[in-house]
Structure 1
Amino acid sequence: MLIGNALTVGLDKAVYLGELPATGWHRHAAPVLLVGLSGRFRLRWPDGRSEHCHSALIDAGVEHVFDPDGERVAILYLEPDAPEVQRLRVLFAQRGPVVGEPLSRVVDRWHTEQRLNHFDLDALIDRRLWPSLQPVDARVLRSLRHLRDAGLPSMPDREALARTVHLSSSRFNHLFSEEAGVSFRSYRVWSQVRRALAAYRPDGSLTDAALDGAFADSAHFSRMFRSTFGMTPSSVLKPLRSVTVLR
């Protein structure tokens, strides 16, 4: 079993394992799978409802509060071009933007954490939930991957990406939101945060992480991080004992 908090970043997924404080209100820019590894967590919704879960799938853009209630949890982020998300688009359309208890209750934490770290969702989620694949427009796929390119010195803006796929800025913005399920602006911020997370090292500084994410400064990084996760960068990054980046 993994000890301490750990982050694994893959090409189209990322997973955070560990203990975290309750978040504030926030919206993710990517679909997430939440898993209570040692017990149930609590979700709160803007209409005042609150529920306890062992697992939940939440679509991008859904406002909520996530409270681990002191339990060890997993947060798995799925990029819009991940094969699983291309199926989840259909599932969310059928069942709504929140799917409760897609996983069986965790009995063997070690095996569950290993599967999460290897992004083995087929072994975790009931296959009967998976609809047929819904492909993403090739122009949006190209833009998503361009934004995630860790070798870029800075983050391209909407106009630059629109030109690369021969679309007007407004048409590109509409197509991106329609295909990715989230606005270009929100996803661009998430891409910056993702780059900062992937570059962070347990003995590193938050300022270095901010620069690696192409943020203007650590204050800008902190604001965008809170809007993305509902938590401060230090509460998420400082407890990390390992960061693994899969190429």
Structure 2
Amino acid sequence: MGDKSSEAGQLMLITPERVFYAGLLGRPRQRCLGAFLVYVAIKGGLQLAAEGAAEGYSELAVVPPNLRHSIASDYRSVICILIEPETVCDGAFELLAKRLSSTQRQFFVERLRAAYEQLRHQPCTGDIVSAAFDIMCFGEALPPRILDARVVQAIAQIGRFSGDPVTAASCAAVAGLSASRFLHLFKQQTGISFRSFRAWKRARHLLHFANQDHNLAHLAQEIGYPDSTHFSHSIRHFYGLKPRAIFSGSRNLAIYRSGLVGAGNSAWTQEAG
């Protein structure tokens, strides 16, 4: 990663199941991401305010999926790890959160900062699977969740972001199930409703374009939003920032992508603004 963006210290590694972000935090209102989050301060500490919990200050903060929260940093930038909840078995997040919040906290702070330096200075060659990502960040692979093949197929459909909009009815038809039976199966397997899952994946897909100049109306349509209003509302709900603010703060961000939904052998691609 020898480009100017990574030399400046701002980078994002995106895989279908994980994201490693190191860059500007911005000044968002409350955010509510659909992934398990681990924040680490690059310097100084972090102030976390989450619904239902007292405010806390630390170098490391853990937030479960779909919890409204705000995060502030003593420094302009932050490290943030996103882990998709449907990719790990039940209870894995809770166990990891206990370890990250225990007497081992400082060990994980230093490990994640070291992972950041590794990604800054060592080129990425080949693909990276979730187990390798987890070992780099946490020292061990998180146990994967085994999903019904019909749900896996639906998730792959949602992740293509091309062609006709993906609906519960279309996924149910492919799975050979009624719409009601499919929706029940999907929530039972993933722990979240089909609509909420699809909304988060659309918003997550925006990350691939964060450092590029785009016509927002065209980008909204490409990602699968019906119009710019829905696009802006959804992005602000998840990230606490307007789309334009995300693009403005990501101009010097180096983006590295590994893998595609349903394809495990693709090479790394880089998109640096």
Q: Fold-level match, TM-score > 0.5?
A: yes
- Unaligned residue ranges in structure 2 (runs of 5+): 1-5, 260-273
SS at match of 1:216: coil
Equivalent residue letter for 2:241: M
Bigger Cα displacement from structure 2, 141-150 vs 195-204: 195-204
- Structure 1 CA distance, aligned partners of 2:106 and 2:152? 27
Question: How does 1:160-199 map onto structure 2 within 5 Å?
Answer: 160-199=170-209
Match of 1:140 in 2: 151
* Alignment-derived partner of residue 106 in structure 1: 110
CA distance in structure 2 between the partners assigned to 1:109 and 1:94 by the alignment: 21
Alignment partners' CA distance in 2, 1:108 and 1:173: 37
Cα contact 1:56–1:98 (8 A) shared by 2: no
Once the two structures are TM-superposed, the CA of residue 177 in structure 1 deviates from its matched residue by 2.1
- Of residues 121, 124, 127, the one that matches 2:137 is 124
Displacement after TM superposition at 1:148 (Å): 0.7
Distance in 1 between residues matched to 2:52 and 2:164, nearest whole Å: 39
Cα deviation code 1:186-220 (max 9, x no counterpart): 11112222333324443334334323212223222
* Distance in 1 separating the partners of 2:240 and 2:190: 22
Candidates 143, 163, 178, aligned match of 1:153: 163
Identify the range of structure 1 (91-100 vs 4-13) with the bigger mean alpha-carbon deviation: 91-100
Note if contact 1:59-1:97 (Cα within 8 Å) is conserved in structure 2.
Answer: no
Partner residue of 1:245? 257
Which of 28, 47, 52 matches 1:42? 47
Q: Structure 1 211/69 Cα, relative in aligned 2: closer, same or farther at 3 Å?
A: farther
Say whether residues 1:91 and 2:92 are aligned partners.
yes
Partner residue, 2:229? 219
Aligned to 1:124, the other structure's residue is in SS state helix
Q: Which runs of 5+ in 1 are unaligned?
A: none
The percent of aligned pairs where both chains have the same amino acid is: 22
Scaled by the length of structure 2, the TM-score of the pair is 0.73
- TM-score, normalised with respect to structure 1: 0.80
TM-aligned CA distance change 1:54 to 1:210, over 3 Å: same
Shift of 1:224: 0.3
2:56 to 51, 55, 58: 51
Render the CA deviation track for 1:15-67: whole Å, top value 9, x for unaligned.
33211224323322222232222232121122351012323343322222222
Q: Which amino acid aligns with 1:62?
A: L
Q: Which has the larger radius of gyration?
A: 2
Q: Deviations over 1:111-150 (max 9, x none)?
A: 43435986722132154xx675442222222211211114
The size of the alignment, in residue pairs, is: 240
Inter-partner Cα distance in structure 2 for 1:140 and 1:97: 29
Residue 229, structure 1, aligned to residue 239, structure 2: yes
Contact map agreement 1:194 1:213 (CA 8 A) in 2? no
Provide the secondary structure at the position in 1 that maps to 2:226.
coil
| Cα contact 2:112–2:138 (8 A) shared by 1 | no
Letter of the structure 1 residue corresponding to residue 212 of structure 2: P
Q: 1:80 to 1:145 in 2, by over 3 A?
A: farther
Instruction: Give matches, 1:53-72, under 5 Å.
Output: 53-72=58-77
